[in-house]
Amino acid sequence: MLKRSILLKLLSAAIVFGAWEIAGRIPVSYAFPTFLESMSALITLTLEGTIFTAYAETLKPLVVGVIISAVLGIGLGLWIGLSAKFDWLFSPIFIVMQSAPLAALIPLLVMAYGIGLTSKVFVVCIMAMPVIVLNTSGAVRNTPSVFKEMARSFLASERDIIFKVIIPAASPIIFSGLRLGISAGFIGAILSELKITPTGVGDIITYSRSIADYPSMYAAIFSIILLAVLFLNVLEKLENYLFEGNNRGYASD
């Protein structure tokens, strides 16, 4: 099964990269380089150290925003899931945050917090926190009632039910929400660099586009996708390890 999964992934990658190479050679557009040209540019950026310097800048708001979103998001999600009143009061806020067009909110954040790290962290939080909160609250709210009734039959206190029954039962979905929130936060970090100030990888993309160095621009975009895929695969493996009994498989398997 593992060999089959790896072969399918390699085949999928070969199809995508092959189509990219063919489209670049036709060409579809003068601004669309071939896959080999983009990879050559990525190697050059890597050897020069430019890509590492850029990611050192890009990861700052991502790490800070994800930590804040995880701590506050899981805490609020537990609170909302355990209380019908807080569910009624706060759930609509996060639903609106998740569906609101982020690009329209960025100018407001810039006006309030400037163009520094704070605004970028807020963008990451706006992207990541709703996903984490809604997944956590849903997991807590949908904990099978039979588990709670069984705990009460053994004279467990409400505190014991929360920490020894509800949270362990909801943990797999909470972790899945955290994984999806990190993915959304990654998008927010890149979007903030493109919309607020061109720093990090966003600076490479913006500068390369301005001088028509399209292979470097696509190389930077490809590196973002590659890093996100690798990071999410690591989180999937960790999730499978921590919650092996709840593993139903992924589309990538």
Model confidence band, residue 249 (pLDDT cutoffs 50, 70, 90) = very low
Please tell me which of 119-123, 233-237, 243-247 the model is most confident about, judged by mean pLDDT.
119-123
Whether the Cβ atoms of residue 145 and residue 161 lie closer than 8 Å to each other: no
- Asked whether 72 and 122 are in contact (CB, 8 A), the reply is no
Torsion of CA 69, 71, 77, 80, to 10 degrees: -110
The answer to whether 137 and 166 are in contact (CB under 8 A) is no
Q: Give the contacts of 114 (CB within 8 A, at least 6 positions apart).
A: none
Residue ranges in the chain assigned as alpha helix (H): 2-25, 35-48, 50-82, 84-99, 102-113, 117-141, 145-153, 158-161, 167-195, 200-210, 214-242
pLDDT of residue 46: 92
Tokens found for residue 113: 């917090």
In whole angstroms, give the CA distance from residue 248 to residue 75: 26
Closest CA to 51 of 196, 245, 208: 208
Residue ranges of domains in the chain: 33-244
pLDDT band for position 253 (cuts 50, 70, 90): very low
- Mean pLDDT value across residues 168-188: 86
Mean pLDDT of the chain: 84
Output 249 or 201, whichever has higher pLDDT: 201
Class at the top of the CATH hierarchy for domain 33-244: mainly alpha
Cα-based angle 253, 67, 201 (whole degrees, multiple of 5): 75
Contacts of 131 (CB under 8 A, 6+ apart): 73, 98, 177, 180, 181, 184
Give me the mean pLDDT over the 90-116 stretch: 79
| pLDDT tens column, 32-70 | 899 999 999 999 999 998 899 888 888 888 899 999 999
Q: pLDDT grade, residue 1 (50/70/90)?
A: low
19 or 237: which leads in pLDDT: 19
Mean per-residue pLDDT, 105-128: 83
pLDDT the model gives residue 127: 87
pLDDT band at 237; cut points 50, 70, 90: confident
Asked if pLDDT for residue 250 goes beyond 90, the answer is no
Task: Map tokens 């092959």 to a residue.
Answer: 18
pLDDT above 90: residue 218: yes
Q: What is the pLDDT of residues 129-143, one digit of tens each?
A: 999 999 999 888 888
- Rounded Cα distance, 123 and 110, in Å: 10
Neighbours of 138 (CB within 10 A): 17
pLDDT at 153: 82
